[in-house]
Amino acid sequence: MNTQNAFGSNSNSTSPISVTGATHNAEATLRLIAALPSPEGLENRVIAGVRSAPRSGRVLGWPALLSPSGGWLRTAAAAAIVFVIVGGGWGVYSRVQPSSAIVAPPVADAAAGFSNAGAVRVPQTLPAPLVVQPAPVQVTQPQAAEPANMARGKVVPGKHHETKHVAGNKTSVQASGPNTK
C-alpha cells in the first residue's frame, strides 16, 4: 500500500466538520494505521485458537424435554413462585382471624410469677358538679331603727333589699331594689 494513496483516498465522508491542514495530516496518519493490512494467516491462527479453546459452557447438558430454553419451564417457575406466595399468605390469614370481642388475657398462675391478687382497677370517675353550700344568711331587720329612718325620709343608696330563695339545695340571692333605712 502506498502512503500517498492512503492519504489521498481516505476522506471521512461521515465527518461533518471541515478540518484544517494540520489536523488533516494527523487524521491521515490515523487512517493510514487504520488501513494497515492484517498479517498473513491471521484467520487461520484465530480459528485454530478457537478450536483448541476448552468449551466449558456445556458440562451438564439438559435433556431436550427439560431444556431451560423451553418456555414451559419459565411458566412453571412463575407458577411455583405465585403458589408459594399465595399459600403463605393464606396460611397466615387462616391462623390470625380478626375477632370482634376483645379477649382479656388469662390471669397468670400465682405459682408461675406475680399476680394481681384479684385486684381490679376501677377507673376514676369524673367529678360531679361541685355544689358549695353557702353559709345561712341571717337577715336581721332592726325593728327599732326602721321607723326612725322612715320618719326622716332618708334613703341610703347602694343598699339592696335581699330576698332569699331556696330551691332544692340551691341558693340564689336576688336583688330587689334599693333598700331604704
Chain contacts with other proteins (rule: CB under 8 A): 1-4, 6, 10, 12, 14-17, 19-20, 22-23, 25-27, 29-39, 42-43, 45-47, 49-51, 53, 55, 57-58, 61, 64, 69
- Shorter beta-carbon distance to other proteins: residue 64 or 120: 64
Question: Quick one: 31 or 181, whose CB is closer to other proteins?
Answer: 31
Helix, strand, or coil (residue 154): coil
**Residue 52 CB, nearest distance to other proteins (Å)?**
10
**d(Cα 117, Cα 113) in Å, to the nearest integer?**
11
- Please give the Cα distance from 150 to 162 (Å, whole number): 18
Minimum CB separation of residue 81 from other proteins in Å reads 24
Q: Which residue has the cell 397466615?
A: 92
Q: How far is the CB of 80 from other proteins (least distance, A)?
A: 24
13 or 124: CB nearest other proteins: 13
Q: What is the smallest separation between the CB atom of 79 and other proteins, expressed in angstroms? A: 24
DSSP state of 159: E
Least Å from the CB of residue 84 to other proteins: 29
Instruction: Measure the CA–CA gap between 51 and 94, rounded to whole angstroms.
Output: 61
Nearer to other proteins, 29 or 115 (CB): 29
Q: CB 21 → other proteins: shortest distance, Å? A: 9
Hunting for cell 403458589 — which residue is that?
Answer: 83
CB of 7 or CB of 181, closer to other proteins:
7
Q: How far is CA 33 from the centre of its chain?
A: 63
Q: What are phi and psi of 167, to 5 degrees?
A: -125, 115
What 3-state class would DSSP assign to 91? helix
66 vs 126, which CB is nearer to other proteins?
66
Distance CA 178, CA 158 (A): 7
Q: How far apart are alpha carbons 64 and 9 in whole angstroms?
A: 55
